[in-house]
Amino acid sequence: MNNENKFRQPLVIIAFTIITLFAVSFIKVDYEIPQLNFKLKNVDLVSDIKVDPPVEPISSMNSRHRVTKASFGFTNIFSSHNSLLEPEIEHSDSYSVPVYQGKKTPVTGNVKQLSYFFDALKNSKSKTVRIAHYGDSAIEGDLITADLRESFQSKFGGNGVGWLGITSQDITFRQTTKHSFSDNWES
């Protein structure tokens, strides 16, 4: 039986892999096999630390890339946004677009079910409001629910962590509570 300590093997494998990839990054390859839908492209491991070539300033590019109004009735198609097409920028060093704020859109369809929820929120100062939502293990572990609950409780008041089972196999999974119970309890 071989009792040698082989703690250096992973280091040798990692070093060999890094050296091989670094060597491959100098090979300029652009190869394609269309039958297999396979493309081999250049690999550059040091691209993140390389200095980028200097970029041509915007002022020298303006003469070649000037934006003008569209022709053939394009402005008629987007007449509501015609103000975007009006100004013609003459050799400006900056580019700006008007900021459009979000538009309020009414909720349509059957919203009767939500009326009970909003009525309960209106009465949250005088009555207890219980909000439940269905989800997966992220909700069981209180990973997302904790932030949602904190937001609701800071806005509408209230406290508590919500429903907890009397016993649980994974009590350490829930991040926001310390849960303990007797060893002889069963659910």
Q: Identify the domain containing residue 7 by its residue range.
A: 1-48
Domain assignment present for residue 119? The answer is: yes
**pLDDT band of 185, cuts 50, 70, 90:** low
- Structural domain ending residue among the three candidates 14, 32, 48: 48
Residue type at 71 in one-letter notation = S
The percentage of residues in the chain with a pLDDT greater than 70, rounded to a whole number, is 61
pLDDT in the model for residue 161: 73
**pLDDT band of 12, cuts 50, 70, 90:** very high
**pLDDT band of 54, cuts 50, 70, 90:** confident
Domain assignment present for residue 56? The answer is: no
In whole angstroms, give the CA distance from residue 14 to residue 134. Answer: 45
pLDDT in the model for residue 136: 66
SS3 letters for the chain? CCCCCCCCHHHHHHHHHHHHHHHHCCCCCCEEEHHHCEEECCCCCCCCCCCCCCCCCHHHHCCCCCCCCCCCCHHHHCHHHHHHHCCCCCCCCCCCCCCCCCCCCCCCCCCHHHHHHHHHHHCCCCCCCCCCCCCCHHHHCCCCHHHHHHHHHHHHCCCCCCCCCCCCCCCCCCCCCCCCCCCCCCC
- Quote the distance between the C-alpha of residue 120 and its chain's center: 32
Domain assignment present for residue 76? The answer is: no
Nearest CA to 91 among 115, 64, 59? 59
**pLDDT over threshold 60, residue 67:** no
Model confidence pLDDT, tens digit, residues 166-183: 666 666 777 777 777 777
Domain assignment present for residue 53? The answer is: no
**pLDDT over threshold 70, residue 94:** no
Model confidence pLDDT, tens digit, residues 138-169: 666 677 777 877 888 888 777 777 666 666 66
Is the CB of residue 131 less than 8 Å from the CB of residue 148? no
pLDDT in the model for residue 1: 52
Domain assignment present for residue 176? The answer is: yes
Domain assignment present for residue 175? The answer is: yes
Q: How many domains does the chain have?
A: 2
Domain assignment present for residue 66? The answer is: no
